[in-house]
């Protein structure tokens, strides 16, 4: 499993940041991959989002997660 940061738009037209989970290593697999929403922590299957784009580099968000 590989994770990448991403941007996605839900079917309400709202854009969020999230974590794209590649279940098949480095290969995108729309049947099994999913996105963890950075706003609410919800899980979105790819057929539940309007669009998404994967960022090539990871940005450290650790301090945001722990509140510092």
End-to-end CA distance of the chain: 28
Query: What's the mean pLDDT when you consider all of the chain?
Result: 94
Token pair recorded at residue 10 = 């839900």
pLDDT over 90, % of the chain:
84
Q: How many Å apart are CA 4 and CA 38, to the nearest integer?
A: 12
Whether 25 shows a pLDDT value over 90: the answer reads no
* Structure confidence by residue, pLDDT tens digits, 10-24: 999 999 999 999 999
> How confident is the model at residue 48, as a pLDDT?
95
Q: Which residues contact 63 (CB under 8 A, 6 or more apart)?
A: none
Every domain of the chain and the residues it spans: 2-57
């Amino acid at each position: 499993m590989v994770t990448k940061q991403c941007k996605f738009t839900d079917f309400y037209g709202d854009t969020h940041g999230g974590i794209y989970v590649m279940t098949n290593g480095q290969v995108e697999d729309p049947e099994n991959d999913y996105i963890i929403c950075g706003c609410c922590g919800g899980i979105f299957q790819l057929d539940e989002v309007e669009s998404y784009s994967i960022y090539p580099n990871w940005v450290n968000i650790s301090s945001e997660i722990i509140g510092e």
